[in-house]
Structure 1
């Protein structure tokens, strides 16, 4: 199965997209989200489960889910009380071009979330109301389609990110709760895969390490993540390679080997499948000039 991806066209003003107050259902939720844009999700009401990176979170009113680019994630709405949420997608380049004299890291919360592997934050009502107002303002600008609306939405996004930093970062020092939404062996398998992308991750060896059969391992993976273990591992490896391509000057061959690809043809073929471009083209087109 080729992973379903979010696609964002050039017609979007300033590389920003908002899905405003949508009520999710298992039929309308993408099996997996694979994109390089950044995203945050705000929950208004309802229940559900959210998988990101290697952790499952329960979702409820007032929750913020922070999703850095190139991070595997998927939402699972509750059948009885499906989640109603807004999702804001944006290119990191939209907020990295700071025009103020004093530097401010608008993506600090996303960087901290990725470093600490803590992606969910719960806002008290007074802070939740401010974030709701920020998202509503972006939505209203989008609806009005003014000639300068794109600029206004970019400014409003900066304000929303500032508020998220202000209200969520103090929670980043708090220890994250251990997820009880999946079996221990499955959670440990996700962590093992994440820490050993540069090695051999064969299904039978992973299942043996988890003390379950290969068939059971595959079945639970598909049920929990909507993709099989091989697809998940390939996706994680490609995302790791994309990060290395942008954050280092290492040769492409070195990056491929360090991310667990045993041959360059396999790396190029897999990279092209997931990104529709070659590694060299990705590095050239996504690095700031």
Structure 2
């Protein structure tokens, strides 16, 4: 697996980035990838397909996608009517709320999306101007660089997240777009997601789907942008990262629970995918510590020292 790691120009003080009104073309899109940063994608114009986690979504005007950290995703803009979108990236730690005596998480919309494994919102027309205005305000702060521009950007981001948390309940999240891909492919992706440690070879999966291995491989690559082996490894790496952060199990147990055949294989694949070792990743598992910011900076420095592979 030769993953692309998105290069963030982060600092330990302000891990935040906006890509503003970018016109997407198929040849310019990153291949399948995942990263620790949270991501919001809002579509202004155009159309295409978005593959997130294990689900295909149509991309159209007014669509918004919530992508939690460590979620496999890839956009497929239409060649004739390419998508124009803005993307906000940030480390969730910067949105940690003060204790104000009420139960509220600005990241609640991401938490709901991850729990439901459903990442698309369709923004109502009456809300689009407001949302686009907040994105534009963040862009202006970044462009003008006035005193307090970072604080202002976070305030606008917080307001945007508040609007999503208030106005878009879990029931409003799209489950999936059923006209993207054959049904057997959607069933296989669901199976892999639910059973990441099972036997997931091309032969086993194509037999389960009742199609030939060659046809399975061709359709899988066409729709997801990945070959089967790379996708399975990526899903297992995502699971391993969650276990490293959330459990006290040692590295060898986590390797086994994530579906890797041996500890050396796990170590090799994890470092290839993330740029660091599992032990180093586990070292920074306390997400409430100030070291989380340093961890993000260290990872970006390591990634920047490696030439990305296509």
User: Residues of 2 paired with 1:34 and 1:148: CA distance?
Assistant: 31
- Cα deviation code 1:225-253 (max 9, x no counterpart): 22111000000100111011112222222
User: Residues of 2 paired with 1:143 and 1:99: CA distance?
Assistant: 32
User: Residues of 2 paired with 1:170 and 1:111: CA distance?
Assistant: 10
C-alpha change, 1:65 and 1:271, in structure 2 (3 Å) is same
Superposed, 1:205-216 pairs within 5 Å as 205-216=204-215
Give how far 1:258 is off.
Answer: 1.0
User: Residues of 1 paired with 2:43 and 2:216: CA distance?
Assistant: 31
Aligned to 2:20: 20
Contact 1:123 1:167 in 2 (8 A): no
Query: Does residue 225 of structure 1 match 2:221?
Result: no
Aligned to 1:241: 240
**Mean Cα displacement is larger for which, 258-267 or 159-168?**
159-168
Aligned to 1:73: 73
Give how far 1:147 is off.
Answer: 4.1
Aligned to 2:200: 201
User: Residues of 1 paired with 2:36 and 2:235: CA distance?
Assistant: 13
Give how far 1:102 is off.
Answer: 3.6
Contact 2:118 2:176 in 1 (8 A): no
Aligned to 1:144: 144
C-alpha change, 1:286 and 1:150, in structure 2 (3 Å) is farther
Q: TM-score, normalised by structure 2?
A: 0.88
- Residue 245 of structure 1 aligns to a residue whose secondary structure is helix
User: Residues of 1 paired with 2:214 and 2:251: CA distance?
Assistant: 35
Give how far 1:66 is off.
Answer: 0.8
User: Residues of 2 paired with 1:169 and 1:153: CA distance?
Assistant: 25
Aligned to 1:168: 168
User: Residues of 1 paired with 2:69 and 2:160: CA distance?
Assistant: 18
- Residue 4 of structure 1 aligns to a residue whose secondary structure is coil
- Residue 89 of structure 1 aligns to a residue whose secondary structure is strand
Contact 1:38 1:90 in 2 (8 A): yes
Runs (4+) of structure 1 exceeding 6 A deviation are none
Aligned to 2:259: 260
Contact 1:6 1:35 in 2 (8 A): yes
Aligned to 1:38: 38
Aligned to 1:49: 49
Query: Does residue 157 of structure 1 match 2:153?
Result: no
User: Residues of 1 paired with 2:99 and 2:54: CA distance?
Assistant: 36
Q: How many residue pairs get matched?
A: 288
- Cα deviation code 1:241-284 (max 9, x no counterpart): 10111122222222111110121001111111111111121122
Give how far 1:69 is off.
Answer: 0.7
Q: TM-score, normalised by structure 1?
A: 0.94
User: Residues of 2 paired with 1:22 and 1:63: CA distance?
Assistant: 15
Aligned to 1:131: 131
Contact 1:127 1:167 in 2 (8 A): no
Contact 1:49 1:57 in 2 (8 A): yes
Aligned to 1:189: 188
* Structure 1: tracts of 5 or more residues without a match: none
**Mean Cα displacement is larger for which, 259-268 or 93-102?**
93-102
**Mean Cα displacement is larger for which, 157-166 or 174-183?**
174-183
Contact 2:56 2:176 in 1 (8 A): no
Aligned to 1:87: 87
* Structure 2: tracts of 5 or more residues without a match: 290-310
Give how far 1:204 is off.
Answer: 0.4
User: Residues of 2 paired with 1:17 and 1:94: CA distance?
Assistant: 12
